[in-house]
Structure 1
Amino acid sequence: MSLLKKFATVGGATLISRVFGFTREMMMASALGVGPVADAFNLAFRFPNLFRRLFAEGAFNAAFIPLFARSLEEEGEEGAKRFATEIFSTLFTVLLVVTVAAMVFMPALVKTIIAPGLAACIDDPQTLGQQISCEDRYAITIAFSRIMFPYLACMSLMAMVSGILNAFRRFFAAAAAPTILNFALIGVLAWCWWNGSDQQTIGFLMSWGVLFAGVAQLLMVTVAMRMAGFSVALKRPRWTPALKRLLILAGPAALIGGITQINLFVGQAIASYKPGAVSILQYADRPYQLPLGMVGVAIGVVLLPELARALKAGRAEEAQHTQNRSLEFALFLTVPAAIALYVMPEPIIRLIYERGAFLPETTHQVAAVLGLYALGLPAFVLIKVFSPGYFARENTRVPMIVTGISAAANTVLSFVLFWFYAEQGIALATTLAGWLNAWLLFEGLRRQGLWHVDMALVKRSVLVILSAGAMGGVVWFLLERLAPYLATGVGALTQGLAILAIVAVAMAVYFGLALATGAADRAMVRNLLKGRRSKRV
């Protein structure tokens, strides 16, 4: 399977999940708007989600896969099973202790880390003028957090099993499993709508839906692993050299792999000082996560195993080629997506969310944040491209330092800009920190001689930017002409058709220019199309 086809497999599964995620967010926005229950749910869900990205997906994709691949190559399948069992047993025990401790100390976690703004609200009730009192907001945030925190344990174990599947080049099950969360929450919201449930009831049922989805996702990848002919056992945890090596790699890798989530979590904690700001950031994050997830996750999942194999086999030239083509792929898809989201955020937000409890004034607020997030989209995908260059060589020191600098910059900028621009300041801080992180990672690779930019990459990158810029001009022109069909009060079908028309023309312009100028590798496209035609025959 070619590198492009592997990206397409993971990206396609992730795209399906993100589409259903859109449906979930649309229903949630209609039911809860940007009120206190929506804020409480988003704050509570972000916390286990942060640790899932830090200590599960980020750490295991970066540290577990190279070590597991080495064990599989050097010791065979029995040695790999022994290594996986050691890690699984330790991980399970640690997660059990962490989950119990978090459930007990959740009030303190909410007050100091998850939502410090709610603590300020309790001290001064006049700071928030909501239909739910400050004490109630604080209480439901604690309750939601306790219900959803075990989701972290499920997702962490799932990440390890997914790492095993990825090492065997079986990418689809792990990429498709997150769709279960969207199905569960869509089902909950539909049931609540049918029964006319109040907002607090909706929030509680959605929290239980998250926990149910976590268990179901873990079961799905476990079954896929067993179907691949591999299994792990639960034994008494032991301190072994393999576990020590994993922790040495996984600690820094966790911070590096979860930088986007760290930035978003810091932003939401600061945003808790303003009513509705947490939900505004969350709703803007969903459209932004569609291209980020589809491209970034695909690259992050596929690139690391490919690089690790090439380097362990001594094929340095192949590793360089893989890195450059991955960067090309990232820029080819994310630059036009970033420009489109920056030029037309308001029609997109209006179509997705503006109904029920989601009001027109909220559309303006969310669209402004989405436009600023869009400017950072290429940066966060580039981080996914540059990081494997370190992880495949088992080097986590440099990217850990870079991530620390970026996270510190994001925290300082968020604090400063929030007081001037509210949630827009947080979005701008996230974008600036992302670009700083990507630039420092690339410079580190370049200066160590681990990344040699070839002329094909330079040429295609410039042409991609020019083609995407021309596409942006066309989108802006069409927005002006179709404005009456995109305004508040116009039917969703009319809005949707207008946006589809703009997207269709924009794609035709961009891909047409990309193929005509050579921004896209024409030979690769021809081979891909030939492959598809031959399969049909």
Structure 2
Amino acid sequence: MSLARNTLVQATLTLGSRILGFGRDLALSAQFGQGPMMDAFTTALMLPNMFRRLFAEGAFAQAFVPIYGGVRAREGDAAAAVTASEALSFMFAVVAGFCILLQVAMPWIMPWLLSAWRDDTGVMFAATTAAQLTMPYLACMTIASLLSGVLNTSGRFALSAGVPVFLNLCTLFPLLAPYVVEMDQTTVLLATSAAVSLSGLIQMALLWWGVRRLGVTLRLGLPRLTPGVSRTLKLAVPGVLAGGALQLNSVVSQLLTGSNEGARSVLYNADRLYQLPLGLVGVAIGLALVPRLTRAFVSGDHEGGRRTLDDGITLSMAFTLPAAVALFVIPFFIIDATVTRGAFTSQDAARTADVLRHFAWGVPAFVLAKVLTPPFFAREDTRRPMIFSIASVAITVALGSALFFGLERAGMDGVVGLAVATSVSAWVNVALLAGTLMREGTWSLSGRFASRFARVLLASAAMAAVLLPASVFYEDLARLLLAKEVAVLAVCGAGALVYGVCLVLFRAVSPSELKAVLRREPNAEGSGASTPSGLD
């Protein structure tokens, strides 16, 4: 299957999950606003969510797929299944033990994580219990990540992209329950936290079924540090760190905001919006790139690898830049029109919008990092991306701390400084990744690529020209169209239409090129009649 087709499968299914996730976030904001229970929930979800993004959304998969695919190509399916089973058993034992340790230690950890509410025993109890309830999700994601890697290596992207929808489905039920039966905020919080772990069990079971349907038999046995496991960990652990710079930066930011009431809720809402293009485009292209790049480098087809990477960068920017422009130009319009309701006020929306605007100009870098790391992973080089990732996190810690506390002392919102630091560090990471690839000849900035990228920029500028007046006359548009929700849909639709037309007019893309990239590759793995029903 072609890169664009694989990306389309990933992005379409991820979009469905993100739409439900947006509905869940609306329910969360309506129930809790930016009060103590919202801070408690975002803190309880912080560690499991970080591991979900590190493992289930690409970083671990990008490190594991070349290892599994290499063994499969050299030694066959049976040897690959043994390697995967050994890695699965060892990782699950380690992560399950880590989860239990965190659950036991959480009463002592939570006052440090959520210091703003340290003196409120009710909030501390609710936050601690919620965090203990969400921890099993982390262990489930360990198994799910490896199962997704097995499916993706075989060209099966649909199931691994589709199962995250159960996180949103499961958590929506307790959040909507207060509209049917009377429930206090603490009960809703604990029920929603338990639903997170339930969704992990469902995702793991479905992926296990998918792998069995594929004909691959994995066994969860006693953990052993075999040579195969040692080699997997040697590459995978740095790979997780390398591919998870954005997630690690997000955790650093959340830790810094523990002393500021409502700040963690602001970060959560801004994070969910700017992560949308990352999930739809960056992760989808990143996962689709890894198998193709692995085949190219294993076969010695370096020119094919360069073309694949060029296509990935061009596609990712064509889809990402308009999203970044919209988040930068009309952040308050988007948030107030969609999220403000119930306990979430327009003042909350204004604070979140200020933070989102400074995440927005980092969005292209967040996506580019997802596209530029697979060439390293495909050659089993995880050390250099890990070093770049550590440098990125160091910048976030240093610059973010300085801006956060500096702005707080100046009477301004320190969370804005964390957004600035995160975006700066993301661009530094991209510069290091791209510079290394260009220096060693893996990728080069061709004239054709530069020309097409400039045309995408022009189309994005034209879209911004449409969105900017809408942000100025937001209230007038809402009155004219009778509802602010209708207004934001109309404005975003108009912007998307202008952008699409300009892409064609400026010849950044053409209909024939779109048909070409969506055409199935005849020799691609995973194509053909042997595709199991329901998996592709």
Q: What's the TM-score bracket when you normalise by the shorter of the two chains?
A: over 0.9
> Does the CA contact (< 8 Å) of 2:333 and 2:474 recur in 1?
no
Alignment RMSD: 1.8
Distance 1:139 1:418 in 2: 28
Distance 1:494 1:143 in 2: 39
Match of 2:184 in 1: 198
Q: 1:56 to 1:509 in 2, by over 3 A?
A: closer
Match of 2:32 in 1: 32
Amino acid aligned to 2:463 = M
TM-score by length of 1: 0.92
Distance 2:126 2:501 in 1: 52
- Structure 1 residues 109-144: Cα deviation after superposition (integer angstroms, max 9, x where no partner): 3344x33x34xx54xx5xxxxxxx2x3322222111
Match of 1:428 in 2: 420
Which one of the candidate residues 222, 230, 253 is aligned to 1:267? 253
Q: Which runs of 5+ in 1 are unaligned?
A: 126-132, 532-537
Match of 1:177 in 2: 163
Kindly state the Cα deviation for residue 107 of structure 1 after the two structures are TM-superposed: 2.5
Match of 2:464 in 1: 472
- Structure 1 residues 152-199: Cα deviation after superposition (integer angstroms, max 9, x where no partner): 000111000000000111001111111001011111111132113111
TM-score by length of 2: 0.92
Distance 1:11 1:403 in 2: 25
Distance 1:35 1:144 in 2: 16
- Structure 1 residues 419-478: Cα deviation after superposition (integer angstroms, max 9, x where no partner): 203211111111111111111111111112221222221111111111101210111123
Kindly state the Cα deviation for residue 528 of structure 1 after the two structures are TM-superposed: 6.6
- Structure 1 residues 312-344: Cα deviation after superposition (integer angstroms, max 9, x where no partner): 011111100000010001110111110111111
3-state DSSP of counterpart to 2:390:
helix
Q: 1:215 to 1:423 in 2, by over 3 A?
A: same
Distance 1:529 1:60 in 2: 27
- Structure 1 residues 14-65: Cα deviation after superposition (integer angstroms, max 9, x where no partner): 1111000000000110010001011011011011222333466555313211
Match of 2:512 in 1: 523
Match of 1:514 in 2: 503
Amino acid aligned to 1:445 = L
Match of 1:18 in 2: 18
Match of 2:344 in 1: 358
Identity of aligned residues (%): 35
> Does the CA contact (< 8 Å) of 1:346 and 1:364 recur in 2?
yes
Where does 1:122-133 land on structure 2 (aligned, <5 Å)? 122=118, 125=119, 133=120
- Structure 1 residues 375-397: Cα deviation after superposition (integer angstroms, max 9, x where no partner): 11100000001101111111112
- Structure 1 residues 484-537: Cα deviation after superposition (integer angstroms, max 9, x where no partner): 1337xx99x621222222122212211111111121244312447999xxxxxx
Where does 1:445-460 land on structure 2 (aligned, <5 Å)? 445-460=437-452
Q: Which runs of 5+ in 2 are unaligned?
A: 408-412, 521-536
> Does the CA contact (< 8 Å) of 1:30 and 1:356 recur in 2?
yes
Is 1:505 the counterpart of 2:494 in the alignment? yes
Match of 2:208 in 1: 222
Distance 2:391 2:434 in 1: 14
> Does the CA contact (< 8 Å) of 1:174 and 1:221 recur in 2?
yes
Aligned length: 514
Q: Tell me which moved more, 47-56 or 385-394.
A: 47-56
- Structure 1 residues 349-392: Cα deviation after superposition (integer angstroms, max 9, x where no partner): 11221111011111101111111111111000000011011111
Q: 1:341 to 1:362 in 2, by over 3 A?
A: same
Q: 1:522 to 1:57 in 2, by over 3 A?
A: closer
Which one of the candidate residues 294, 302, 305 is aligned to 2:288? 302
Is 1:463 the counterpart of 2:434 in the alignment? no
> Does the CA contact (< 8 Å) of 1:167 and 1:305 recur in 2?
yes
Which one of the candidate residues 475, 484, 494 is aligned to 1:495? 484
Match of 2:53 in 1: 53
> Does the CA contact (< 8 Å) of 1:332 and 1:520 recur in 2?
no
Match of 1:257 in 2: 243
> Does the CA contact (< 8 Å) of 1:154 and 1:215 recur in 2?
yes
Q: Tell me which moved more, 458-467 or 517-526.
A: 517-526
> Does the CA contact (< 8 Å) of 2:7 and 2:284 recur in 1?
yes
3-state DSSP of counterpart to 2:341:
coil
